[in-house]
Structure 1
């Protein structure tokens, strides 16, 4: 074992602290890489259990290192194998932190004893590592090369090349290797975007507008936004710009009756309530009712009185549901391949047969809400998936033979196809698919609707 490199004037205490963090990250990686729970939930539970032991800097280092390992897993595996063995968790954690910019090569050398090959890496090959150059001959072209370079399952890259073409796939993979932006959505019921940005800037934050929607504000650096007084006052919510764009293309007008049929935590319900200017009604339901537990509190904080969480099994008791809705939003459960930058662990858990299994459930949900729509009303089907099985194929299955609905093109929402529109992931937003249909004939099956 060689003597660790030490930068001139280095702090032994800092080196010990960094070594402890790397060891901690290595220990977490050994557990989380085989866990079934999503990484964000797993880490959230872990940090809550250890909240008295871990400071904010520790939590940030650990979470960013873990996400870096998931984001660059194949690439790091190639280098780890080259440098000393693929099962060395401390080596993996060090490479993940290095690639994420949390430590330098010299800091790694200070924090951990290195073998001869790793010492040479720090002094000679670190720049190649950070430039995404491989220690061994990389595949020449095609899905194997892209899968290794951008750390994606090869089967997923191959199907994207087949479905979307190389001109679309490489930029997509480049987006997915970056950290997602921290985007908040102004609450227009309480404040304008300009005035909220001035508050953020006065507090010392570097923020900018996002051109995708009139409500989005992007923080240039990570920030504990949930601790801000402006959040507690209901002046903003954290919400991806693509998710905001979905609400914008609905074309809602004050006074309308809207059903958010797969509301989840209610982020879109809150924005729709604000777009309606506190007039009309948003009925929010979900097949997982526990998801709606905090929506009443969030709506109150936002100053919204037109957002109502409801029991999906008691829709017949709701007058607006009996009348028929002007708009129904089906933000369907999906594979989430449009959000893999935000959830990089998910790409290693997906299987190709999942898309067809999801399709069956998505068709059932979409068909189940249609009887609740009044004549002239519109239903919007949305996913955060890029896959055709979950998107165009669902719309074709549901509407291709129906005479009581007509499809409505969605202008200004990404790439338009015969069966819907796809908003591609970008530096500013996650990826979404959306399609709309208008009911042109009344039906008499209101009582038989179900999800």
Structure 2
């Protein structure tokens, strides 16, 4: 290792930990959960933990480009390699091509040291061939725009094609390019316990580079990588993590004190928390979700933040809520979606093909229709997603309005990381007029 520590155990080696996490992601685990669990079990220094984190997210963010380069370095097709060798080669190639602070010899030697005796020679040969070629990362011909974008930005070919069809060439390039910049950490201030100005002042006095969100009334932005639990006010429950776009969805709901509000797809709970704060902890917030285990986290989160008006209900949002029809003033319908707006935070989504989510619009439409039944006349319904695909957004809303003459559209917008500095997000607000 470049830190000269020859006595590191297998469990303490940041590259070994990164490799184990990458193999778990290859088997279908979420990167953030797999990495958090691995770090929790480790006894690595803060420096090595940071390196392991950088390696995991770096490889996942550049995986498409790494695989395209590997295809030209090896006589074996990338998809034919065993998952452990494939992950190992990506790990080594990422260090060679994207981490200038790690010398080539260290990147190669430390990667080969993780290989089995049977595969070490092959891994060594591939990585040294990349050095011989000047650490070049080739791209397809730019005339094949979808293929070029897919490799350049490490997204699936199917996603590149869909974005080009839906957003056009210029917007697709701008959207994908914005994902190259690590997203900031955005907080939602707990206005039941403090003000945004007071928390901002505390953060700045503690030396954090913090500033107010540009659009949300209640957000504070910090640089990417800030340690949440180390921030002033965490132990006192003065904030929780929530992207600015998600905060704007809550603002679009316009929940007020003494209202009755339903959040029909509530987990992990941040929007329900924001709604309760907008209501000044007066009224009723019903947080619903399909998964009971997740609802327990919502309840504990509400307790930490001092929210006393939130209750939870385990239910499928596509089914009737017996006896509750027409009894809510506000309903938030933040539906399950493809998630392509949050690729910057969930790099494993880069490999996802939109065709895998072809059934989602029908599920979303069913949830939206059932949620509309809960509203009283004059009530407001907000439909939101964290994707930028029109089939899950504008098209769903347009179809709902065409089939439900008792609703009118109040506002509709899509937010993008390149223009708004937020997650990719869709928000539509509708009013029940009769």
Q: TM-score, normalised by structure 2?
A: 0.84
Residue 413 of structure 2 is aligned with which of 414, 421, 425? 421
Q: 1:288 to 1:12 in 2, by over 3 A?
A: closer
Partner of 2:384: 382
* 1:349-368 equivalences in 2 (<5 Å): 349-355=352-358, 357-368=359-370
Partner of 1:180: 183
1:306 positional shift: 2.0
Contact 1:15 1:110 in 2 (8 A): no
Q: 1:390 to 1:116 in 2, by over 3 A?
A: closer
Partner of 1:440: 433
Greater mean deviation of Cα atoms: 366-375 or 396-405: 396-405
Residue 406 of structure 1 is aligned with which of 405, 408, 413? 408
Residue 333 of structure 1 is aligned with which of 336, 345, 360? 336
Alpha-carbon distance in structure 1 between the residues aligned to 2:24 and 2:380: 43
1:311 positional shift: 4.0
Partner of 2:37: 45
Contact 1:375 1:440 in 2 (8 A): yes
Alpha-carbon distance in structure 1 between the residues aligned to 2:308 and 2:125: 66
Alpha-carbon distance in structure 2 between the residues aligned to 1:124 and 1:161: 32
Alpha-carbon distance in structure 2 between the residues aligned to 1:78 and 1:311: 45
Q: Secondary structure at the match of 1:188?
A: coil
Partner of 2:59: 69
1:149 positional shift: 0.9
Greater mean deviation of Cα atoms: 32-41 or 154-163: 32-41
Partner of 1:93: 91
Contact 1:64 1:97 in 2 (8 A): no
1:383 positional shift: 0.9
Q: TM-score, normalised by structure 1?
A: 0.81
1:203 corresponds to 2:206? yes
Partner of 2:192: 189
Contact 1:210 1:428 in 2 (8 A): no
Q: Secondary structure at the match of 1:400?
A: helix
Give CA-to-partner distance per residue, 1:305-332, whole Å, 9 cap, x none.
Answer: 2222234489557xxx466111100000
Partner of 1:392: 394
1:95 positional shift: 2.9
Partner of 2:302: 299
Contact 2:327 2:375 in 1 (8 A): yes
Alpha-carbon distance in structure 2 between the residues aligned to 1:54 and 1:20: 8
Structure 1 unmatched ranges of 5 or more = 1-5, 411-419, 442-451
Aligned residue pairs, count = 410
Give CA-to-partner distance per residue, 1:18-76, whole Å, 9 cap, x none.
Answer: 994334433443x234312322223333444x24x444444432232122112111211
Q: Secondary structure at the match of 2:208?
A: coil
Structure 2 unmatched ranges of 5 or more = 113-122
Give CA-to-partner distance per residue, 1:372-393, whole Å, 9 cap, x none.
Answer: 1111111111111212221222
1:183 positional shift: 1.5
CA RMSD of aligned residues (A): 3.1
Alpha-carbon distance in structure 1 between the residues aligned to 2:144 and 2:201: 48
Alpha-carbon distance in structure 2 between the residues aligned to 1:290 and 1:28: 24
1:152 corresponds to 2:155? yes
